[in-house]
Amino acid sequence: MEKVSKFRQYLVSGYPAIWIETHEEFRAIQTLAFEAKGYSVYSWDVTTGLKEHATGQINPCPTPVKLLQTISSMKEEGTVFFLKDFHKYLTGPHSSVEILRLVKNLIPLMKSKDRHFVFVSPVVQIPVELEKTFT
């Protein structure tokens, strides 16, 4: 239960990028979304798209670039975005400078609008360019 309390503290403190290492992504997102009371909660994966938890509404966002552009254009404040398997787009064969740059460019916006990226993956693979950004 201590980790959940710490997660809530990270949100309230305004950390824009949080990395959760787990093999139980469904359970982790379910638990942490509950801790994000007062925030709009979304989750994304490449096959489903961007899903709003409260309504179940889905925005296809079929690529990481489209997802990041969609997040950038949203007006909503106080938002948590759970991104599944996104580490594959930051490092390795599916990574690109464009995706890395979009994430870096979004960080100031995330801070100013009380938004939070929560990367959920079984491994922590943070590119050196983003190391100081993630908690």
Tell me the CATH number at 19.
3.40.50.300
Helices (H), 74-115: 87-90, 97-112
Give a yes or no: residue 135 inside a domain.
Answer: no
Give a yes or no: residue 51 inside a domain.
Answer: yes
Give a yes or no: residue 12 inside a domain.
Answer: yes
Is the pTM higher than 0.95? The answer reads: no
Structure-block tokens of residue 12: 């309230």
Tally of domains in the chain: 1
Measured in degrees and rounded to the nearest 5, phi and psi for residue 118 equal -125, 105
Structure-block tokens of residue 120: 């959920």
Q: Quickly state the pLDDT bin for 123 (edges 50, 70, 90).
A: confident
pLDDT tens digits along 38-74: 999 999 999 999 999 999 999 999 999 999 999 999 9
Instruction: Tell whether the model's pLDDT for residue 2 goes beyond 70.
Output: no
Q: Quickly state the pLDDT bin for 127 (edges 50, 70, 90).
A: confident
Instruction: Tell whether the model's pLDDT for residue 8 goes beyond 60.
Output: yes
Q: What is the pLDDT of residue 4?
A: 59
